[in-house]
Amino acid sequence: MKRIIDFVAKYPVAITALICIVFHFLLPFKPKPFGDGEYHEGTIQLVEYILNGFQGNIRVDKGMFTLFYYLTPYSLAYAFHSDAVFYLFGIAFNSIVVCAGIFYLFKTLDLLGFSNKVKACALIILCLFPIHVYYAMGILAETAAFFAITLFVYSWVRINEKSGSRRHFVALSFALLMLVGTRPNLLPFLIVFLLYFLVLKFDWNRKIAVIALVVIPLFLLGFFEGKVSRVDENFKSIVFRNQILWSRFELRDEPFNWLPQHGQDQFASSDYLNNLKKRAELDSICDQNNFDKTQYYLNWVKDDIIQNPGLTLRQYFLKFFQSQSFIISPLMKSNKSNLIKYGVHGYINLINYVLILFALIGMYLLAKNRKYRLFFPSLFLWGWSLLYVFIFHSEQRYMFPVRPLLIFLFAYTINHYFQDKKSSSSQAH
């Protein structure tokens, strides 16, 4: 058994690479190859923008950084002008990045002196439900966000536990830039973290450097997006309105229908359809009275929360679990038997809830052991991610970037258990 544990702890990257290969060739269900198509189309247009002497328009629906993330594999595949080749190069690149993320995650556990047994437990729970590999099989932003969090956790632990050098502060800056650049909804986390970072006892030159290395590139990304994006500015307002409205109907009449809702098909819930009816009603009122739609939606949502406090609390309670569950839509919408569908989801979400429980214990242990420099950033990231899905519509991909943090907290809890067990054994003798 010790040899197996040592092997697993020694080769987490190689094991992850093997899982990537197995998933690509053997997994019967995968995410949509190009998601909604925005990153695929946008990155091709970015390549063409560069080839055309920095002229043209680029589709940017979400994080601009994600297009630069896929620029390398897409530049190599561009000569073939084939979606199949773009996809192959993209997921090969994602697999490499996932492996790099695992490398930094386990390097973090090494920094804290965790035993091989702890590291083996962490890898096992990752491999029992390798959602990080599942997302790597699509041209999505999730893999970039996964890597960003693993690098953030590593650099922050290195800086606080081992007196990090200049390059670790640079790594911290890059991780934050990559995270917010691919997941713009985490901007409030970035603001809170940087304010917290400012009050800590670090050299002011390093504080200023970290903030500058995050803020200036983000500003430049925003400027570049405004220059080249062909997306109507009204698009973001529409998305914002639709999300805050959907949040009020989600899990309202069907509290246990957790299937992601994306359209009026046979799987559409009554909550989603009622949301669409209310959207049409509010739009009609605004059009007839020439009201500002965003402000009118906000007022309606605020009034609905005030008038239904019990419902709101129930929704938030259920969203805590629903948002951190994983529902594989292609499987649920397939013709497979209910035994397979619910058996698979029961299995993967049992693992999720075990992970969440151990992560909560890990948060408690960090506070108890006065590891506040690890506790507060973890609270900011996990807390804001949850708050976001409470306020806006809950979708599992919004909580996915937290997963490396949960694995770290899981390992911290397991390490504490083994240390207590070892201490009790020593006292007994």
Residue range of the domain that includes 296: 232-315
- Asked if residue 334 and residue 197 are part of one domain, the reply reads yes
- Asked if residue 288 and residue 177 are part of one domain, the reply reads no
- Asked if residue 277 and residue 355 are part of one domain, the reply reads no
Q: Is the overall model pTM greater than 0.85, yes or no?
A: yes
- Using an 8 Å Cβ cutoff, are 291 and 281 in contact? no
Domain count across the chain: 2
- Asked if residue 189 and residue 336 are part of one domain, the reply reads yes
Of the pLDDT bands very low, low, confident and very high (cuts 50, 70, 90), residue 62 is confident
- Asked if residue 249 and residue 100 are part of one domain, the reply reads no
- Asked if residue 373 and residue 423 are part of one domain, the reply reads yes
Read off the pLDDT of residues 226-277 as tens digits, 9 standing for 90 and up.
Answer: 888 876 667 778 888 998 999 999 989 998 888 877 666 677 889 999 999 9
Of the pLDDT bands very low, low, confident and very high (cuts 50, 70, 90), residue 191 is very high
- Asked if residue 199 and residue 104 are part of one domain, the reply reads yes
pLDDT confidence of residue 4: 85
Of the pLDDT bands very low, low, confident and very high (cuts 50, 70, 90), residue 305 is very high
- Asked if residue 391 and residue 349 are part of one domain, the reply reads yes
Read off the pLDDT of residues 20-50 as tens digits, 9 standing for 90 and up.
Answer: 998 888 777 677 888 888 899 999 999 999 9
Q: What is the mean pLDDT of the chain?
A: 89
Read off the pLDDT of residues 316-337 as tens digits, 9 standing for 90 and up.
Answer: 998 888 888 888 777 787 788 8
- Asked if residue 376 and residue 306 are part of one domain, the reply reads no
Q: Name which of 20-29, 380-389, 406-415 the model is least confident about.
A: 20-29
